[in-house]
Structure 1
Amino acid sequence: MSRSLAAHVLTSGGFITGAIDFGADGRIASITGTPSDERAVRDNHRLPLVLPGFIDLHVHGGGGRDIMEGGDAVLRVAELHATHGTTSMLATTMTAPMSDLETAFAALGPACANRGPKGARVLGVHLEGPYINAGKLGAQPNFARPAQPDELRRLEALAPIKLITLAPEIPGNMDLIEGLVASGYRVQLGHTLGSYDDGVQALARGAGGFTHLFNAMTGFHHREPGMVGAALAHATYSEIIPDLLHAHPGAMRVALRSIPCLYCVTDSTAASGMPDGQYRLGRHQVTKCLGGVRLADGTLAGSTLTMDQALRNLVNALDLDLRDASRRVSTHAADYLGLGDRGRLAPGAWGDAVVLDRDLQLLDVFVEGVSLDHPHAR
């Protein structure tokens, strides 16, 4: 059964005031109406705003569950993030022994093949480590090791890997980048002590982006520009965590001016959507307190961010217009993965959409044409 929604609809060409029709096949059947500018639609109280559904390429957990648990954890995580507007996501694993990764991947394969009725679409896996630098673990457990193609083949047989984070300076890793990219993986640089030159060389070999820009990588200095400098000078795509804890708004403004397709991720943990307390992050125990998640030594350990709050932070704290902000929580991530039918509202694209009021609070979420009727709807 199709469904029509009267709204201000954000298309690739701007806002259309009219209606969006979701077809029975889960895709957008049509968008009709007349062009409108952002100020007019934000001032109009009669109709809601409809934006492309959010896409999060870095999700460790949510709702008290951690991706590394295996079992039904990924389904619960996908449900929690769907209630905050995420319509598709990459389940993100931690640096861990192979046995732990296989436990997680065994559950991720079925979840990628079959979406839960109340959850976001799990597009695949972001393998964040273990091929990283032990000197830049951040909140990753210390099971770092050089990239091993045999391990990747074993894991790929269990669930589709879409994105691999690695440190290019680790012996052997740089030489594997071209082959990984040729095999269809997106490779990005993170948890790295690599130099500016390491970053530039990795990009030349096919690496496509950077993992949580500024965090867990060599910083910028005018005589040693580091991995941050390589990203700012040469990247087209990069993640950033816009929770206003992981990066100062001024640093985010620098990145926005430097990296054309900078896109937002949550790096969310089991603590997302939960009260303060103790939670699991891979083999670590972490504490949620004062809006952040930390290890016992105070190290930031992922976040409690959700993508609806990411959108509001971009608009309210960084003064982005809504069209630009929407691209950074949706379209750029889809383009990075080569998904031309997600991250945009157009006839034939998947019916992934968020319905918002003028204050950018969620009213409803559509995943593949179906309203989730989630707790934020009213």
Structure 2
Amino acid sequence: MKTAYKAKKIFAENEVFNNAFLIVEDGKIVSIEKKYDGEYIDYSDKYIAPGLVDTHVHGYHNVDITDGEPGTLNIMSKGVLQMGVTSFLPTTLTSSYETLNNAVKVIGEEYKQVEGAKVQGIFMEGPFFTEEHKGAQNPAYMSDPSIEKLRHWQELSGGLIKKIAIAPERKGTVEFIKEAKKMGVYVALAHSDAGFDTAMDAVNAGANIFIHLYNGMRGLHHREPGMVGAALYSDAYAELICDGHHVHPAAAGIAMKTKGHDNILLITDCMMAGGMGEGKSKLGEFDVIVKDGQARLKNGSLAGSILDLIDGVKNVYDWNIADKKQAIDMASKNAAASVGIDDRCGILKDGRDADFIVLNEDLSLVETYLDGKSVYKA
């Protein structure tokens, strides 16, 4: 059955269509038309955009994917629909080898059965980090990178690992990056005190993403540009948590001006407290207090965020550091491209799954669609 949706604006891959129709049939996008004679669902005062893609999200609705509890992945996949997310990479934290074995195994067993947003791979945030900028990662489990461990995790997950983050100053990182790339795993840089040259060596070896830019890394100094300098200088992608707490709006704007919006991806780094309101929570093994839109450890350090991805999109537009198309692309098209899944999500295009969101003009979420079916209404 063919269904048409009329919108004030439709944000396609390389164009914004005004007063146009999205045509969907059997769960797939058929075309985007400027005229349509049949009946249609009327969103003529609203926008249609691709479903958002969160490539860095640990949990939501009081579940943490690292726990490896059966059913957790499904709860999370349904919960993130209210962020406007239709595809995501469930993200593990630095934990024991055994805990990570179980977590990736469970994801690999359950990802095809989820009822909500689609699992497009796994992101392993650690455990190959250093203590200096550990953030909410447990240094007890940190070590030099091991390609043997990555191969084992990839086997346990059924080939689902798409991305792993490491600290580039650890021993053997260049060799690890090259071998991981051969396996089809994208290597990111994070939780590191590496200097500029060391970080650039990792980029030159094939690392292509800096994790939550500015957070968990050596800052910029004019005589030693550090990890932040390498992120701004290189052509690699950089993640940003645009909740207004992790990164000042001006710092986010500097990154966008320096690197160009095409090299920025918006992520949530959301933890299990996401969607749960204020109160006590956990991030891995750490106790967390959620208050005033922030999640903090007992020592006052910021933990993972409780950001909804659509709010990050709205924020960068409201902060006047991105236009609407750029804001949407950073949380969909760019995010998907950063880990090579833009052939299946992040873009409204003929033949693709009809995974899209309906937005008000202020970019607040109205409705989320999966395969042409409405699955969440704000």
Q: TM tier, shorter chain?
A: over 0.9
Q: Which SS does the other structure have where 1:294 is aligned?
A: strand
Q: Normalization by structure 1: what TM-score?
A: 0.92
**Cα distance in structure 2, aligned partners of 1:185 and 1:230:** 21
From 51, 58, 76, the counterpart of 2:56: 58
Cα shift at 1:375: 4.4
**Cα distance in structure 2, aligned partners of 1:205 and 1:254:** 26
**Cα distance in structure 2, aligned partners of 1:353 and 1:253:** 27
Aligned to 1:354: 357
* Deviation string, structure 1 residues 310-366 (Cα, Å, up to 9, x no partner): 111011123421111111111101111222232111211221111012232222111
* Deviation string, structure 1 residues 94-148 (Cα, Å, up to 9, x no partner): 101011112211221133333x22x111111100000111222111112111111
Kept after mapping to 2: 8 A contact 1:345/1:353: yes
Aligned to 1:269: 271
Deviates more, 1:143-152 or 1:189-198: 143-152
Kept after mapping to 2: 8 A contact 1:45/1:358: no
Give the superposed CA RMSD. 1.6
Q: Which SS does the other structure have where 1:140 is aligned?
A: coil
Number of equivalent positions: 363
**Cα distance in structure 1, aligned partners of 2:203 and 2:43:** 46
Q: Normalization by structure 2: what TM-score?
A: 0.92
Structure 1 residue runs without a partner (length 5+):
35-43
From 293, 296, 299, the counterpart of 2:295: 293
Aligned to 1:155: 153
Q: 1:45 to 1:82 in 2, by over 3 A?
A: closer
Kept after mapping to 2: 8 A contact 1:51/1:353: yes
**Cα distance in structure 1, aligned partners of 2:245 and 2:235:** 23
Kept after mapping to 2: 8 A contact 1:249/1:318: no
Deviates more, 1:357-366 or 1:181-190: 357-366
Is 1:370 the counterpart of 2:368? The answer is: no
Aligned to 1:332: 334
Q: Which SS does the other structure have where 1:250 is aligned?
A: helix
Aligned to 2:121: 124
Aligned to 1:10: 11
From 125, 130, 135, the counterpart of 2:132: 135
**Cα distance in structure 2, aligned partners of 1:286 and 1:27:** 41
**Cα distance in structure 2, aligned partners of 1:31 and 1:139:** 44
* Deviation string, structure 1 residues 47-88 (Cα, Å, up to 9, x no partner): 321011111100011111111122211211111111220010
Q: 1:2 to 1:109 in 2, by over 3 A?
A: farther
Q: Which SS does the other structure have where 2:33 is aligned?
A: strand
Deviates more, 1:14-23 or 1:222-231: 14-23
Deviates more, 1:339-348 or 1:208-217: 339-348
Q: Which SS does the other structure have where 1:230 is aligned?
A: helix
Kept after mapping to 2: 8 A contact 1:111/1:122: no
Detail structure 1 runs of 4+ shifted over 4 Å in the superposition.
none
Aligned to 1:196: 196
**Cα distance in structure 1, aligned partners of 2:313 and 2:274:** 16
Q: 1:184 to 1:45 in 2, by over 3 A?
A: closer
Q: Which SS does the other structure have where 1:83 is aligned?
A: helix
Q: 1:274 to 1:233 in 2, by over 3 A?
A: same
Kept after mapping to 2: 8 A contact 1:188/1:209: yes
Q: Which SS does the other structure have where 1:129 is aligned?
A: strand
Q: Which SS does the other structure have where 1:212 is aligned?
A: coil
Q: Which SS does the other structure have where 2:156 is aligned?
A: coil
Cα shift at 1:234: 1.0
Q: 1:46 to 1:369 in 2, by over 3 A?
A: closer
